[in-house]
Amino acid sequence: MTRAGTDRQPWTATVLTLFPEAFPGLLGSSLAGKGLERDLWRLETLDIRGFARDKHRSVDDTPFGGGAGMVMRPDVVGAAVEASAESPGPLVYLSPRGRTFDQAMAREFAEEPGLRLLCGRYEGIDERVLEASGAREVSIGDYVLSGGEVAAQVVLDAVVRLLPGVMGNEASGGDESFEGDLLEYPHYTRPAEWQGRSVPEVLLSGHHERVRQWRRARAEDITERRRPDLWHRYLERRRTGGNEEG
């Protein structure tokens, strides 16, 4: 099956990792997993350790200049990166010093033919590999993880759900948090009363325009209170005509 009824191949993720058994992990479940089964996207792994050149299959060594920890060797990681060169999409290195991943970046990656995701371990990867490959460094937040595999799954989950056909209700993606620089409005379902708390009456009115206005107002209120950075960006987009109502 090709993407969006064209001759293009399905969007393909290639993960370069020391732990290929970690994939697909949760990506094999829910919408992403169903999309994988239907060949709406593809997942490949490349075992970095397979490019080690000694009998111990060493992938790391002590850092020049001293210091704690180990660094992934350039000859090993570089060979893995070169082996992935024919795979579609840009090379992304999951790194705490990279640009913070957000919904806009997810949409950008979804427009690519795929992604090559390089997962580091230990203290990271020899800088020369990043320089030689032109890898784009991306962070999922200001904290430290044991390796890039969890971060890679976060990126893939956010991107895959944007691919054509993966989400069952295509319209639902436009109402989620960070679309249009707003956080998502609150959701309610049955029962209409629970532990003395009632669903807002407007949601029971059947008046679609009033519901839409209420949701917009709640999204704006939540964004202003919780994420002033997004709120100011939203106001600026509205001021310049880049954010339409509804």
Annotated binding site: 120, 140-145
* pLDDT at residue 6 in the model: 53
pLDDT above 90 coverage of the chain, percent? 86
pLDDT top residue among 184 and 3: 184
Going from N- to C-terminal start, the domains of the chain cover: 3-160, 171-239
What is the SS3 assignment for 39-64? CCEEEEEEEHHHHCCCCCCCCEECCC
**CATH code, 171-239:** 1.10.1270.20
pLDDT above 50 for 138: yes
The pLDDT of 145-149, averaged and rounded, is: 97
Rg value, the chain, Cα: 22
Annotated binding site for S-adenosyl-L-methionine: 120, 140-145
* pLDDT at residue 168 in the model: 76
Give the pLDDT confidence of 156-188 residue by residue, as tens digits.
999 999 999 999 755 455 566 677 889 999 999
Residue 81, CB-side half-sphere exposure with 13 Å CA sphere: 26
The residue among 4, 229, 38, 48 whose CA lies nearest residue 148 is 48
> DSSP letter string over 121-173?
BTT-B-HHHHHHHTPEEEESSSS--SBHHHHHHHHHHHHHTTSTTTSSSGGGG
Cα separation, 243 vs 35, whole angstroms: 31
The pLDDT of 144-165, averaged and rounded, is: 97
The pLDDT of 128-142, averaged and rounded, is: 98
The pLDDT of 33-55, averaged and rounded, is: 96
Give the pLDDT confidence of 15-32 residue by residue, as tens digits.
999 999 999 999 999 899
User: How many Cβ atoms are within 10 Å of 117's Cβ, its own excluded?
Assistant: 30
* pLDDT at residue 76 in the model: 98
* pLDDT at residue 4 in the model: 45
pLDDT above 90 for 61: yes
The residue among 213, 137, 232, 219 whose CA lies nearest residue 182 is 219
Cα separation, 223 vs 99, whole angstroms: 22
The pLDDT of 215-228, averaged and rounded, is: 97
* pLDDT at residue 243 in the model: 52
pLDDT above 50 for 41: yes
* pLDDT at residue 99 in the model: 97
Cα separation, 244 vs 241, whole angstroms: 7
* pLDDT at residue 180 in the model: 83
* pLDDT at residue 8 in the model: 74
Domain 3-160 has CATH 3.40.1280.10: yes
